Amino acid sequence: MSLRARILLLIGFATLAPAVVLGLLLFEERDRDIEDAKHSLGALAKFAADNLDDKVKGTVQLLHGLSRAPDLDTSDRFACSAFLAGVLARYPQYTGLLTIMPNGDLYCDSLRTNRKLNVSARSYFIQSRASSEPAFDVVIGGLTGIGVLQVAYPVRDGQGALKYVLLASLNLSDYARDFVAASQYSTFEMLIWDRKGTVIAHKPDAGDGKVAGREFARSELFRFVESPAPGAAAELPGLDGVPKVWARGVVPEPRGGGVRITLGLPREVLVANADRVFRDAMTVLIAISLLVLVAVSYVAESSIRRPVRLISSVAGRVGAGELSARIGAPYPRGELGDLMAVVDRTAGAVQAQRAEIEARSLDLQRANRALRMLSGINTLIVRARDRDELFKEACRVAVEVAGFRMAWIGLVDRASGQLVPVASAGMGDELLTAVGDFYALPTDGEKGAVARAMHEKRPVVSNDFATNSPLSLRAMHLEVGNRSGAVFPLIVADVAIGLLALYASERDFFHDEELKLLTEVAADVAFAIDYIEKDKKLDYLAHYDALTGLANRELLHGQLAQHMRNAGRGGKKLALFLIDLERFRTINETLGPPAGDALLRQVAEWLTRVAGDSSLTARVGADQFAVILPEIREAGDLVRLLEQTIDVFLRHPFYLNESTYHVAVKVGIALFPDDGDNADTLFKNAGAALKQAKARGDRFLFYKHKMTDGAAGKLTLENQLRQALDKGQFVLHYQPKVNLKSGKVTGAEALIRWIDPRTGLVPPLRFIPILEETGLIHEVGRWVMHQALKDYLRWRAAGLCAVRVAVNVSPLQLRRRDFIAEIEKALANHADAGNGLELEITESVIMEDVNNSISTLRAVRAMGIPIAIDDFGTGFSSLSYLAKLPVDTLKIDRSFVLDMTAGPQGRALVSAIINLAHSLKLNVVAEGVETVEQSRLLRLLACDEMQGYSISEPVPVDVFEAKFLTKRTSGVRLLERSEMANLACHPT
């Protein structure tokens, strides 16, 4: 710490302590003023709520008065509307006045729009019908788009019957506008909410005009609104994200209909007066403190700091090498004068010691120069990773660290045999050019000594250029001040690849000890050259693919990370494409590995040419490549670019073994920052998208988060499911279908179950999605169909009354081209089994590709196999398509069966489905029937069949045979009415 700082610190403690205390008191006073301002804002919010409550009360009184007006009790709608229009003109705080008939229809309207409106489903109307008290609700007007508080007043006759409902729409937007306009702040903001967190009114209007009508229930501001203690204030971000001080008010229930009010002011506006008072007081306090500080500082400067500064200046000059510097007598009395005398005596002693050191340094300098260079070169070798950097820094070390006058390094050009200077230090351009023009190997005459040094691999020395020197350009060296020099060959693998030349300004510099050390320096430089070349090769192999020359996965990770940082700073998006070559293994095995390698090189060249920059491409697998797109402008542009590029690639010819081939690709795409904020995550997600694209057969696929969720668990489950299929762990359970009129068991649905030896019976919902995702559904679905046909034939062979078995079809099965062939093969393997099979296909699967589904289902029907639409009512079928579909049965989804007993609407919907199916000559099966009441209603609605737990849960095949199949001689098993009535408790 400086003397001035110490003095000022001492003065500060003495003079500024009171100022600090006063400043703290001012801070406390300011905080009290701010809290008062917040309480005032809270009181204002409470006033706004109370004022709105008064307006609601006035509205109720107005409607009470209107209920007695004879002009409303008239059959003339136009006269009624005209009367209400006149009332509305007197009370502009309302957006409209209406009368609503007991059935919910609009009768007359103050706006006289003659519109048709039914409000029977609205909460305020329902409350009005059920009570004689007014009802309240907060909504956004359907026609006006204005936030209003609906006040519904029921008008009843003398017997208490509802004649009509008077409805007044109190304009909350105008209320908020008038309240804000009347406030003293131009930046005042008012929000009116409903109890669900929807903004009903917002003044002043937001810039985008989209705040009113939007729900912000999860916003921090609405959570503050819903908290207790109305009238309290808090600093929170508003809906635009800008922090403000907010106060809340709640209109009492039920008149407010759940209205919440928040008032907001920027903090700087709210506390402006407190800040102004605080600033004025602090300004005065600081000014007084500074005046005291300046006065005391002046006294300390003149009596203390100036003498000390003089002592410091002389000491600094002596320390910098000006040993003759002195303070000089006379010295002032006291401690400072004594210190000045000591400084002068010390400077004289240091000057004498320096003279003695300089007398001895010349000898040490020559002895240490070579050692310094050796040390500097060895330090350089440790950190140098580039040959040019090594040469340049070695020459610099020789001149700046070791003290040589000049240094240069030359390498032999293997093609021309020329010795080419590659680095130098201390040399002028003219001399360096002369050296470059002069040296050539092999050579004769004056240059023969250097050639001999290179050939014999030993140094060549000249300790006096003034005499006959074996080194070249002697005259030029003498002219620039060089008096001695030496050339040291650089030897790598016993071959002289260049030389190191050093020049000194002294004669007789290079003696045996120095030559030994400098020869070691040259050997170290040669070792570094060899090491760097090998390191470069290793570095290339570590970061580049040796076959294609593209970056490998590790290098691309670093490049991708850099591009992601650039995109992040610019607020841009980036895409990573993982590209997999199709049929590469076939090409490699058919044409041979050389042809496969040639294909990879040609693909790499094509990708580099298309990308425009080799740093954007990489080979990351045996037949996989990666490409970075550093910037994405529009998602649509990216899709078009992908489609166009893939089409061009498909048309591009690849020449292998003198033949032309075309190759297809699959592409997985991950986007930054949407799909990952680091290179590892982006690679992983692009790989997941590529895997999904290959599984689904898509040409390209963008990553979705669900692709990797639970990937590890799915992988384990996939492996277990493959083993389950191989080890016969899958079984079929059957659930019977019963005719509602006769009670006959008419069929059964085959449902797959997995008996895991580790955990027991596994729910289908846990493993069926994995079967579909991995493609195992094709093999498992094939097994289900064959097993169902085997069971059916076994029933027939055992003399049982075999019923038709329904088998569910997966979307992936239906989309396969060989689906029909699979069915034909199954029927061929199980002769006479066609009558025992039915296919169930969900409605949503059929509607994915209606035209293709129609053609496929017609082919199935042509084989005599009936088709049922499963989960009917959930797939948004078009009636025009339903009439065209070649199906035999509609299965009503269990959700409709459950709703059937909840009310008349559910029953009406089920009845409509049954009537529609019967009109199309289709059989109807109700799924998920669980209660006696459901089965009774279905029988009344003329449903044909039912299926569900009220009959039986899905049971193993032996249980199904024992309970529901009878011998053919005794007829079909029938369920008595008494049995059906007790099905829910005692399944047959």
**Whether residue 904 has pLDDT greater than 50:** yes
> Does residue 985 have a pLDDT over 50?
no
Q: Identify whether the C-beta of residue 282 lies closer than 8 Å to the C-beta of residue 262.
A: no
> Is 812's pLDDT higher than 90?
no
> In whole angstroms, what separates CA 177 from the centre of its chain?
41
Give the tokens for residue 790.
């085997």
User: Between the CA of residue 861 and those of 149, 814, 841, what are the distances in Å?
Assistant: 61, 14, 13
Length of the chain: 988
Residue 7 scores a pLDDT above 80: no
Quote the DSSP letter at residue 834. G
787 three-state secondary structure: helix
In angstroms, the CA 482 to CA 475 distance is 10
pLDDT in tens, 531-549: 777 766 666 666 788 888 8
**Residue 652: predicted pLDDT:** 92
Q: Which residues of 287-304 are buried (b: 16+ CB within 10 A; e: fewer)?
A: eebeeebeebbeebeeee
**Strand order across the 106-109 sheet:** 106-109, 94-100, 162-171, 147-156, 135-140
Q: Which residues contact 593 (CB under 8 A, 6 or more apart)?
A: none
The one-letter code for the residue type at 41 is: L
**473-482: long-range contacts, CB 8 A cutoff, minimum separation 24:** 473/431, 473/434, 473/435, 473/438, 476/431, 476/434, 477/431, 477/503, 480/406, 480/428, 480/431, 481/405, 481/505, 482/405, 482/406
Residue 886 token pair: 């070649």
Structure-block tokens of residue 496: 């002289």
Q: What pTM, to 2 d.p., does this model score?
A: 0.36
Which residues make beta-bridge pairs with 167?
98, 152
Residue 186 confidence (pLDDT) above 80: no
Q: Rounded mean pLDDT of 832-856?
A: 82
- 730-739 vs 745-756, strand pairing mode: antiparallel
Q: What is the pLDDT of residue 708?
A: 60
Q: How large is the average pLDDT for residues 744-760?
A: 92
DSSP string, 55-68: HHHHHHHHHHHHHT
**Tokens 């904020």 correspond to what residue?**
677
Q: Tokens in use for 408?
A: 């240069």
Of all residues in the chain, the percent with pLDDT exceeding 90 is: 24
What's the pLDDT band for 987 if we cut at 50, 70, 90? very low
Q: Which whole number is the average pLDDT over 255-279?
A: 81
751 vs 840: CA distance, rounded Å: 11
- Distance, CA of 594 to CA of 837 (rounded, Å): 53
DSSP 682-719: HHHHHHHHHHHHHHHT-SEEE--GGGTTTHHHHHHHHH
pLDDT, tens digit, for every residue of 629-655?
998 877 667 888 888 999 999 999 999
| pLDDT at residue 988, rounded to an integer | 27
Q: What are phi and psi of 273, to 5 degrees?
A: -65, -45
pLDDT of 597-632, one tens digit each?
Answer: 999 999 999 999 998 888 899 998 889 999 999 988
pLDDT for 969 = 47
The model's confidence at residue 807, banded by pLDDT at 50, 70 and 90, is very high
Confidence of residue 214 (pLDDT cuts 50, 70, 90): confident
Q: How far apart are CA 97 and CA 673, in angstroms?
A: 53
For residues 736 and 950, what is the distance between their CA atoms, to the nearest angstrom?
Answer: 11
So what's the pLDDT on residue 792?
A: 93
**What pLDDT sits at residue 14?**
66
Considering just the CA atoms, what is the radius of gyration of the chain in Å? Answer: 48
Confidence of residue 976 (pLDDT cuts 50, 70, 90): very low
Q: How confident is the model at residue 977 (pLDDT cuts 50, 70, 90)?
A: very low
DSSP states of 610-661: HHS-GGGEEE-SSSEEEEEEEEES-HHHHHHHHHHHHHHHHH--EEETTEEE
8 A C-beta contact, residue 530 and residue 597: no
Q: 97-101, 710-714, 725-729, 925-929: lowest mean pLDDT where?
A: 710-714
With H, G, I as helix, E, B as strand and everything else as coil, classify residue 63.
Answer: helix
815 pLDDT band, cuts 50/70/90, is confident
217 residue type, one letter: A
Structure tokens at 846: 């059929």
Conformational region of residue 893, where left means phi above 0, alpha means psi within -120 to 50, and beta covers everything else: beta
The more confidently predicted of residues 761 and 414 is 761
Lowest-confidence pick of 183-197, 461-475, 850-864: 461-475
Cβ within 8 Å of residue 805, ≥6 positions away:
734, 747, 748, 749, 750, 788, 789, 791, 792, 836, 837, 838
Structure-token pair, residue 175: 């209320």
The model's confidence at residue 879, banded by pLDDT at 50, 70 and 90, is low
> Cα(567)–Cα(570) distance, rounded to whole angstroms?
5
**Cβ(595)–Cβ(584) below 8 Å:** no
Higher pLDDT, 108 or 347: 108
CA atoms within 13 A on the CB side of 566: 13
Break the chain down into helix, strand, coil percent, rounded to 5.
50, 20, 30
**Position 70 pLDDT exceeds 50:** yes
Q: Is the pLDDT of residue 211 over 80?
A: yes
**Distance (Å, whole) CA 333 – CA 757:** 104
Q: What is the model's pLDDT at position 165?
A: 94
Cα–Cα dist 225/248, whole Å: 6
Amino acid at the residue 893? D
Least trusted range by pLDDT, from 481-495, 652-666, 903-917: 481-495
Mean pLDDT of all residues in the chain? 83
Helix (H, G, I), strand (E, B) or coil at 364: helix
Per-residue pLDDT tens digits for 913-947: 999 889 989 999 999 999 999 999 999 999 999 99
Q: What is the pLDDT of residues 32-50, one digit of tens each?
A: 878 888 888 888 888 888 8
Least confident of 151-155, 458-462, 685-689: 458-462
Per-residue model confidence (pLDDT) at position 384: 67
Are residues 973 and 964 in contact, defined by beta-carbon separation less than 8 angstroms?
yes
* Residues contacting residue 284 through CB under 8 Å, at least 6 positions apart: none
Q: Who has greater pLDDT, 781 or 525?
A: 781
| pLDDT at 975 > cutoff 70 | no
Residue in the structure block whose two tokens are 């109720």: 60
Average pLDDT score over residue span 825-845? 84
The HSE-up count of residue 972 (CA atoms within 13 Å, CB side) is 12
Number of neighbours of residue 248 by Cβ within 10 angstroms: 27
pLDDT: which is higher, 458 or 382: 458
Which residues lie closer than 8 Å to 418 by C-beta, 6 or more apart? 412, 439, 440, 441
Q: Could you please report the per-residue DSSP string of 20-33?
A: HHHHHHHHHHHHHH
Q: Is 640 exposed, middle or buried (0-12, 13-18, 19+ CB in 10 A)?
A: exposed
Alpha-carbon 988 to chain mean position: 55
Query: What's at 124, amino acid-wise?
Result: Y
Confidence class for position 231, pLDDT limits 50, 70, 90? low
pLDDT the model gives residue 420: 83
Amino acid at 362: L
* Four-residue CA torsion sign, 463, 467, 469, 472: positive
Answer with the residue of higher pLDDT: 315 or 955: 955
